[in-house]
Amino acid sequence: MIEIRRILVPMDFSECSRRGLRYAVAMAERFASEIVLVHAIEAPLNLPPQTLVRLDPEGPAMPIMDYVREAADRRLNAMLAELSLASIPAQGVISVGDVRDVVLEAAKAQNVDMIVMGTHGRKGLRHLLIGSVAEDIVRRSEVPVLTTRMHEEHASVPPTESAE
């Protein structure tokens, strides 16, 4: 029998990654698994890491990477609290680096049995120019990877009232 004890979910806080998390939660409930949320911080391309930001004009300046890490930590902790309320055991990992490498390294380090992640499902020129994180992870992963593709939601149009 296949055992899925630990599920890794790459999390960039987008709706796409949240969709992957919803699938992971369903699997975790079914298999009594633990979820490992992984967030990769990629250094801003055009800013040196020693760049300072000041959120409050009167407050102290802080290095941009510290700000980004603190913001990611707050968001990840909020998600972990939600999972805890749903009685899903979970932990979070934040690492600096390319998301592909961070996810694959975390999968090994955390000894996960599966990766569940959202993907945009881009095609054509957009795929060629942007690439596919999910595709690269699927190719390089040593554990099974479940991808959940984002679809445009088609809102239903309410029926028009007939004039009598």
User: Is 19 contained in some domain?
Assistant: yes
Instruction: Give me the pLDDT at residue 50, please.
Output: 78
Q: Tell me the one-letter amino acid at 159.
A: P
Per-residue pLDDT, 99: 93
Domains: count for the chain: 1
pLDDT at residue 22, rounded to an integer = 95
The residues, any chain, with a CB within 8 Å of residue 103's CB and separated by 6 or more, are 8, 10, 38, 40, 115, 117, 137
| pTM listed for this prediction | 0.82
Averaged pLDDT in 10-residue chunks for the chain of 164 residues: 92 92 96 97 76 85 88 96 96 95 98 92 48 85 90 42 43
**Assigned domain for 73 exists:** yes
Query: How high is the pLDDT of residue 90?
Result: 98
Residue 163 domain-assigned (yes or no): no
DSSP conformation letters of 6-39: EEEEE--SSHHHHHHHHHHHHHHHHHT-EEEEEE
- In this structure, which long-range contacts are made by residues 77-85, counting pairs with CB atoms below 8 Å and at least 24 apart in sequence? 79/11, 79/21, 79/37, 80/37, 83/25, 83/35
User: What pLDDT does 43 receive?
Assistant: 74
Residue 1 located in a structural domain: no
Q: Is residue 138 part of a domain?
A: yes
Strands of 48-113, DSSP E? 52-53, 62-63, 90-96
In this prediction, residue 153 carries a pLDDT of 46
Number of Cβ within a 10 Å radius of residue 7 = 28
Q: Per the domain annotation, does 40 fall within a domain?
A: yes
pLDDT at residue 144, rounded to an integer: 96
In a domain, 159, yes or no: no
What range does the domain containing 128 cover?
A: 6-149
Q: Does some domain include residue 157?
A: no
Instruction: Tell me the CATH number at 145.
Output: 3.40.50.620
Euclidean distance between CA atoms 86 and 83, whole angstroms = 5
The predicted pLDDT at position 122 comes to 55
